[in-house]
Amino acid sequence: MTAEVLDRAGASLAAESARFTARGWMPGTAGNLSVTVGRDPLRLAVTASGLDKGELTPADIVVVDADGVGVLGEGGSEQRPSAEAGLHARIAAVTGAGAVIHVHALAAVTAGHHWPEGVVLRDLEMLKGIGHSAHGETVTIPVIANGQDMTVLGDAFEALYVRPASGENDVPALIVADHGIYAWGRDLRQARWHLELTEALLQIVLSRR
């Protein structure tokens, strides 16, 4: 990939990270964002680990492969990628997403605690914004248990994501219980839209408990 592609990706990742930091969704150095920059083989530009997400520069990205392992010699910094890059890559591989966002938004953590089997949503207008019907369709935001092995988390995600003989429950978001939320889309902007809408939907169902 060209330096220009990575520069653009880095600038977008820094800008969106600053936005989420301002919303309080990236406390400390929590969370990470990625953009898919290559498909064959799979390559993601992901925010570097351990940095303040409100102060990233376009250079603070790492190129990782399908396992979330840093790839040297293809551009990006030589900083350490987050361990969570492995789940970003799995989501990008399974869903075809062009961008993945992971933040520690409160409604997601709270909803994941109350509904560990998945958060059931139905008859809400904003379901349209995540690809479903506003009426008469039951949509479940999947919830998986937290863990430090991204292969285990990726398998748990994939088991819930691929529905037998249907694409019915294709939801562009995943709650990791006691941890946070992942949301994705064709690009970083749509991934943000999906994140904002899912968090808003979760706030609504939490307000009804």
When asked if residue 137 is in the footprint of a copy of itself (CB under 8 A), the reply is no
Among residue numbers 56 through 85, which ones bind a copy of itself (CB under 8 A)? none
Among 129, 156, 175, 181, binds a copy of itself (CB under 8 A): 129
Residues with Cβ within 8 Å of residue 55, at least 6 apart in sequence: 18
Stretch that binds a copy of itself, among 20-28, 36-44, 89-97, 159-167 (CB under 8 A): 20-28
Do 44 and 91 meet the contact criterion of CB atoms below 8 Å apart? no
**Who's near 14: CB < 8 A, 6+ residues apart?**
56, 57, 58, 60
Nearer to a copy of itself, 39 or 189 (CB): 189
104 is in an annotated binding site: yes
208 binds a copy of itself (CB under 8 A): yes
Pairing of strands 143-144, 173-176: parallel
In the DSSP assignment, the letter for residue 81 is: B
Residue closer to a copy of itself (CB basis): 65 or 199: 199
Cα 194 to Cα 71, 106, 129, 146, 204: the distances in Å are 29, 16, 7, 21, 15
User: Residues forming the annotated binding site for Zn(2+)?
Assistant: 102, 104
Query: Given the rule CB under 8 A, which residues bind a copy of itself?
Result: 24, 27-30, 52, 104, 106, 109-110, 113, 123-126, 129, 134-135, 146-148, 176, 178-180, 189, 193-194, 196-197, 199-200, 203-204, 207-208
